[in-house]
């Protein structure tokens, strides 16, 4: 199975990159993992709703260029379905059994994902009704994917 993390913006903080690298290394025994980062748009303070929509649409187009027809797309969205770690593990396992060879996990920029990306998604996943910085979300997501594989393989993992 291939897991692709598609995200808007580059991660600049060393501690986040270190954590992401650690989970990427751990995940190497369970899946092929790759990252696609697209450029983010500058969002001015007090931008109009129209400008925010335009920014999300531009970032969304950049993401959609990397999503293939055959990919199963899970979009991270605040209004998505909340799953616990076991449920996420079961979802990943079910997708593997159904023959989904590539899962794209899509993280939007500071304004979220465009409507077009959300429409392309096969599943919308929410981690919380709270908002997290999109750079930090990548690390949290990787930890949960790793936890999911450990659960799937009946391996111990700290609860």
Q: pLDDT tens string for the chain (159 positions)?
A: 999 999 999 999 999 999 999 999 999 999 999 999 999 999 888 889 999 999 999 999 999 999 999 999 999 999 999 999 999 999 999 999 999 999 999 999 989 999 999 999 999 999 998 888 888 999 999 999 999 999 999 998 765
3-state secondary structure 32-58: EEEEEEECCCCCCCCCCHHHHHHHHHH
Q: How far is CA 24 from CA 19, 21, 143, in A?
A: 9, 5, 9
pTM of the model: 0.94
- Length of the chain measured in residues: 159
Partners of 123 in the β-ladder: 74
Which residues, in sequence order, are CB contacts of 113 under 8 Å at separation 6+? 56, 60, 63, 75, 76, 77, 106
Report the 10 Å Cβ neighbour count for 70.
8
């Amino acid at each position: 199975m291939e897991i692709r993390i598609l995200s808007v913006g580059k991660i600049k903080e060393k501690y986040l990159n270190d954590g992401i690298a650690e989970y990427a290394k751990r995940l190497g025994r369970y899946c092929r993992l790759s990252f696609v980062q697209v450029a983010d748009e500058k969002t001015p303070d007090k931008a109009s709703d129209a400008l925010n929509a335009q920014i999300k649409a531009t970032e969304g187009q950049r993401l959609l260029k990397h999503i293939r027809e055959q990919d199963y797309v899970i979009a991270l969205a605040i209004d998505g379905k909340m799953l616990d770690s076991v449920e996420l593990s079961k979802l990943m396992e079910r997708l593997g059994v159904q023959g989904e060879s590539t899962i794209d996990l899509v993280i939007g920029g500071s304004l979220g994902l465009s409507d077009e990306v959300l429409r392309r998604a096969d599943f919308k996943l929410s981690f919380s009704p709270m908002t997290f910085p999109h750079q930090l979300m990548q690390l949290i997501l990787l930890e949960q994917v790793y936890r999911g594989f450990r659960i799937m393989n009946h391996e111990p993992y700290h609860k």
